[in-house]
């Protein structure tokens, strides 16, 4: 299983300024990927431009892949995204994994003047055009003049593309493009299993091959302190219950406990679901940076 990590501190503008340092630290620890989310208008600090921050991270790293957990396409112009992504892939020399999403915030759609009922159609239109542009088709053609993307992405014909998906329609759309389905940190094991079953059926219906990579993002915290593990588990469980009408106390969407427990749980993800790429998410309220990094170190040790 390949191991990647999200930024573990996004709590302030100063933390965002240290994103390149976090990426370099993740690389030095042995992680194979460093991932950033996208969010807007989120209190005192938001991560609204992950591609810019990944460009800064690319300048400080050499081997680690750099990814977006969900770049929101419906609020962006496809030509602009195609250009920015191509340039970032060049800067990173092919280390970019572009995770794409449709977005879900009604406020976000209101601000950008997007009809939320059209988000899937806009996503499809944008990604289809981006694929065409990256592949070398004209961006614009008039009379005998044609405009082309320059530079093209470092990866040929375009960067690795993963699609974040919630619900049957989104899973079907990810499958239609033949892209890996990037699971969020919110689904339980049973929900993830059901989603993967639907996704794989949709791949077959769309005559698409099963992607080699099966990724999942999970909130992970390794500690041998049973009391601390219980407290963290309870906190994460409360957060999930606030955001979901369903509660599955026997199969939480997070993985918290001893190194042996985490190792056994991840083995189940691998054996039962075929998961082979893990994005470990931190940023647990009340957990210090030192504790989170100790957990990440323990995670890397499990797979050495």
Whether 193 maps to a domain, the answer reads no
Cα radius of gyration rounded to whole Å, the chain: 19
The CA-atom distances, in angstroms, between 125 and each of 78, 169, 181 are 8, 16, 19
Min mean pLDDT across 91-105, 126-140, 228-242, 264-278 is at: 228-242
pLDDT mean across residues, the chain: 93
Give 84-142 pLDDT, tens digit per residue: 999 999 999 999 999 999 998 889 999 999 999 999 999 999 999 999 999 999 999 98
Residue 79 lies in domain: 10-164
pLDDT tops 80 at residue 182: yes
Residue 213 structure tokens: 């990579």
pLDDT tops 60 at residue 247: no
Other Cβ atoms less than 10 A from the Cβ of 190: the count is 12
CA distance 77 to 71: 12
Residue with tokens 């040790």: 301
Residue 10 structure tokens: 């996004």
Res 243: pLDDT: 52
Whether 280 maps to a domain, the answer reads no
pLDDT top residue among 40 and 240: 40
Give 54-71 pLDDT, tens digit per residue: 999 999 999 999 999 999
CA distance 173 to 169: 6
Question: What would the mean pLDDT of 222-228 be, rounded to a whole number?
Answer: 96
Whether 63 maps to a domain, the answer reads yes
Whether 124 maps to a domain, the answer reads yes
pLDDT tops 60 at residue 293: yes
Whether 214 maps to a domain, the answer reads no
| Stated pTM of the model | 0.94
Whether 125 maps to a domain, the answer reads yes
Whether 263 maps to a domain, the answer reads no
pLDDT tops 70 at residue 290: yes
Question: What would the mean pLDDT of 157-175 be, rounded to a whole number?
Answer: 95
CA distance 207 to 221: 39
Residue 64 structure tokens: 């680690």
The CA-atom distances, in angstroms, between 211 and each of 179, 181, 208 are 7, 9, 9
Number of domains in the chain: 1
pLDDT top residue among 11 and 100: 100
CATH classification at residue 89: 3.20.20.30
pLDDT level of residue 245 (50, 70, 90 thresholds): very low
């Amino acid at each position: 299983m390949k191991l990647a990590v999200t930024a573990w501190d996004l709590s302030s503008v100063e933390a965002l300024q240290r994103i390149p340092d976090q990426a370099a630290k993740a690389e030095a620890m042995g992680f194979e990927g460093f991932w950033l989310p996208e969010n807007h208008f989120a209190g005192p600090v938001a991560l609204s431009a992950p591609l810019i921050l990944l460009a800064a991270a690319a300048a400080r790293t050499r081997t680690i892949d750099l990814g977006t957990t969900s770049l929101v396409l419906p609020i962006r112009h496809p030509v602009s995204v195609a250009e920015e992504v191509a340039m970032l892939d060049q800067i990173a020399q092919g280390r970019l994994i572009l995770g794409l999403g449709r977005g879900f915030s009604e406020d976000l759609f209101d601000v950008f003047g997007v009809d939320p009922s059209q988000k899937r159609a806009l996503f499809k239109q944008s990604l289809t055009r981006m694929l065409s542009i990256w592949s070398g088709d004209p961006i614009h053609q008039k009379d005998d003049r044609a405009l082309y993307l320059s530079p093209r992405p470092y990866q040929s014909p375009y960067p690795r593309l993963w699609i974040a998906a919630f619900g049957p329609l989104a899973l079907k759309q990810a499958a239609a493009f033949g892209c890996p389905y990037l699971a969020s940190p919110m689904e339980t094991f049973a929900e993830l299993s059901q989603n993967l079953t639907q996704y794989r059926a949709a791949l077959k219906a769309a005559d698409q091959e099963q992607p080699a990579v099966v990724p999942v993002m999970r909130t992970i915290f390794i500690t041998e302190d049973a009391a601390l593990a219980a407290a963290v588990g309870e906190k994460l469980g409360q957060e999930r219950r606030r955001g979901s009408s369903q509660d599955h106390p026997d199969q939480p969407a997070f993985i918290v406990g001893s190194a042996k427990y985490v190792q056994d749980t991840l083995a189940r993800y691998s054996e039962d679901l075929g998961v082979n790429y893990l994005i470990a998410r931190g940023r647990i309220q009340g957990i210090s940076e030192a504790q989170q990094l100790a957990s990440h170190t323990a995670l890397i040790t499990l797979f050495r």
